[in-house]
Every structure is written in structure tokens, then in C-alpha cells.
Amino acid sequence: MLREKLKEYNVILASKSPRRQQFFKDLDIDFNIQLKEVEELYPSELKGTAITEFLADLKSKAFVNLTEKDLLITSDTIVWLQETALGKPKNAADAFNMLRALSGKKHEVITSISIKNKNFQKIISDKTTVSFKELSDEEINYYITNYKPFDKAGAYGIQEWIGFIGINNLEGSYFNVVGLPVHKLYKALMSI
């Protein structure tokens, strides 16, 4: 259905994330991957959704020669904990500190998606509230050692071991926590 809707477009997914790429395949979208390095810095006064919207837009600005037939999709996800944005951990110690901070608490996973071509841009966002049980140091270390979550915001993947044993409750889209609110993306792409 979506494939037919988008057949006039050259759909470009600007993401290294294997999870996002798989979502596009599962949505039956013809797409190609194009990557441009972007330094993911944002103004310090931004909070929550304003951060992910800024970064999704920033990533889209790296593509300067879009045509009306191109459909560029960029996105960004953060974990938002007590007025602090947790991005991807730099190393094992950073991952440990993030997971220790998330342990026993609720946080929000926020994702924004930019859909853009030469003539328009639309940015959509989604939030999911996630509750973690109290994690032991042994559980955290086991997860980091065996799953190496260095490419994941907040240092965890809900679809991995830590999600199975550590998440008590979820309010909102599971797929948003994996990395893309596919229900909102589908609706936005169908409305083009």
C-alpha cells in the first residue's frame, strides 16, 4: 500500500540504524540509504521534544540538493530522564552510569522524524514512557558486556535482554522505544 503511494518518490533513509532500516523494509517501502556525518549538537536551552526535532531537522539540512522527487527521512531519538537527555553512551562506563540512572525510575523515549523534499518539510514526534525495575550492578554489567548497547540512546534496547528482564511498564508505542514510531510515520507518508 505504502509502496504504491510512494512510487513517484526516491525515498532516502538517512540512518545507520539497522532497526530503522528493518522498519522501512517491514513497511514495504522502496528506499535507499544515504548517510552524511552531522555533529549532533543542540542549544542547551532545548528540552525534550525540542531536542529531537532540532536534531532531526539538523540531519536533514546536510542534504542540500534535494529535488521534488526526493523524499528524505531523518530522525533522532533520546531518552529523557529528569530534565536530562541521554544520548548514545561513549563507552562501557558511560553506559553503566546511564543504566544506573534509569534503574527503578520512569523515563520518556522521544523520537522525531523529519520528512523533507525540495518543496516541503514535515516533522513528527512521539513519546513513550518506560518504567525500569531496580537493576542490580550484575545485571547492568552482564547486559553491557554481552549486548554492547553503544549505538542506542540511553544505553539500552527494549528488544534485547535488558528489556525482557528490566522493563516493568510501557505507556505508548513499543516501536518508538525501538527507534521509530512507525504508526505515525505510516500516517504521515500516506498523507503526502
Strand-pair category, 32-33 with 70-81 = unpaired
Q: Please confirm, yes or no, whether 76 is among the known catalytic residues.
A: yes
pLDDT above 70 covers a percentage of the chain that reads: 100
pLDDT of residue 182: 96
> For the segment 64-119, what is each residue's pLDDT rounded down to a tens digit?
999 999 999 999 999 999 999 999 999 999 999 999 999 999 999 999 999 999 99
Q: How many helices (H) and strands (E) does the chain have?
A: 8, 7
Three-state secondary structure string covering 63-117: CCCCCCCEEEEEEEEEEEECCEEECCCCCHHHHHHHHHHHCCCEEEEEEEEEEEC
Domain assignment of residue 157, given as a range:
2-190
Span 31-36, average pLDDT: 97
On average, the pLDDT of the chain sits at: 96
pLDDT of residue 93: 98
> What is the CATH number for 155?
3.90.950.10
Number of domains in the chain: 1
pLDDT of residue 52: 97
Q: Please give the grid coordinates belonging to residue 181.
A: 514510531
> For the segment 151-171, what is each residue's pLDDT rounded down to a tens digit?
999 999 999 999 999 999 999
φ, ψ of residue 88 in degrees (nearest 5): -85, 140
pLDDT of residue 1: 86
User: In 148-181, which ranges are continuous DSSP H helix?
Assistant: 161-166, 174-178
pTM of the model: 0.94
Predicted confidence (pLDDT) at residue 61 exceeds the cutoff of 90? yes
Span 148-152, average pLDDT: 94
Span 170-188, average pLDDT: 96
Query: What is the C-alpha to C-alpha distance for residues 100 and 135, in angstroms, rounded to an integer?
Result: 7
Span 34-44, average pLDDT: 95
Catalytic residue among 57, 76, 94, 151: 76
Q: How many CB atoms lie within 10 A of CB 182?
A: 20
